[in-house]
Amino acid sequence: MVTRRVLLLSCLATPALAQDRFITLASTTSTEQSGLFGHILPLFTRATGIAVRVVALGTGQALDVGRRGDADVLLVHDRAAEDRFVEGGFGGPRRQVMYNDFVLIGPGADPAGIAMTRDVGEALRRIAGARAPFVSRGDRSGTHAAELRLWQEAGVDPVAGRGQWYREVGQGMGPALNTAAAQDAYLLSDRGTWLAFRNRQGLKVLVEGDARLLNQYGVIPVSPQRHPHVKAAEAASFVEWLIGPEGQAAIAGYRIGGEPLFFPNATDG
């Protein structure tokens, strides 16, 4: 009788102990809204017994969370900002994980006439010249940073059109896509969220394939020297799994309609 009772208590305790082993991951809305985390995180938990609690924000905000020590590890996509984070002693090392690309989305009617170009700079100049509605995330995300960089390289200051043809929503990729669909507007999206997006209405991919549209993701553990309370060992387990064979295979295996959303490339850098 005593043996049966001990076994019962042991079985009841095991899930509770497993739930106590978790890390907080600050990451981008694109990794969550694309459905990637729903695919890979249960596999990580099954392999390690470590649960993952995701805080989905724009990359700039996710890095701020890391600076405050309110996360154990980050998965983000703005290399310049990531390097500043590491150089500031807030975390590291940064490890390359995966990539996809950005695509320039717009209404099928294409009032700015960008569909015939693969040059994203020329496409943005045509949008600005036509004063065609353009939705910006405006949220300090990696996508927003990439968008601003592309405008600058195109020699266009979109701020001049703010409140007119250039409309900032201050939200994640999903809400920005919904706004563009409702307003027949152009916008820059990561391909993963676009493939998972259902409310497309008349929106289409109009510009893709420009090398400047590469979208690289990196993983960074938060520094236990800066924030002694972070779960450094568990975060290291997550990083090693993510860039290792199992994590890379899990990323490659996530598809929608047979099309991959992300391409693992941890071995490239």
Indicate if 77 and 114 belong to the same structural domain.
no
β-partners of residue 186 are 134
Indicate if 106 and 206 belong to the same structural domain.
yes
pTM score: 0.84
Does residue 18 carry a pLDDT above 70? no
Euclidean distance between CA atoms 220 and 227, whole angstroms: 14
Indicate if 205 and 235 belong to the same structural domain.
no
Chain Cα centroid distance, residue 71: 16
Indicate if 207 and 138 belong to the same structural domain.
yes
Indicate if 172 and 237 belong to the same structural domain.
no
Mean pLDDT check: name the lowest of 81-90, 215-224, 251-260: 251-260
Indicate if 149 and 70 belong to the same structural domain.
no
Indicate if 57 and 184 belong to the same structural domain.
no
Range of 43's domain? 2-99+216-268
How many domains does the chain divide into? 2
Give the CATH number for residue 251: 3.40.190.10
Choosing from 213, 230, 251, the residue where a domain stops is 213
Dump pLDDT digits (tens) for 84-103.
Answer: 999 999 999 999 999 999 99
Indicate if 66 and 137 belong to the same structural domain.
no
Indicate if 220 and 206 belong to the same structural domain.
no
Indicate if 106 and 90 belong to the same structural domain.
no
Indicate if 173 and 132 belong to the same structural domain.
yes
Question: How does DSSP assign 190-235, residue by residue?
Answer: EHHHHHH----TTEEEEE---GGGEEEEEEEEBPTTT-TTS-HHHH
Does residue 112 carry a pLDDT above 70? yes
Dump pLDDT digits (tens) for 141-184.
Answer: 889 999 999 999 999 999 888 889 999 999 989 899 999 999 99
Indicate if 15 and 144 belong to the same structural domain.
no
Half-sphere exposure of 153 (CA within 13 A, CB side): 13
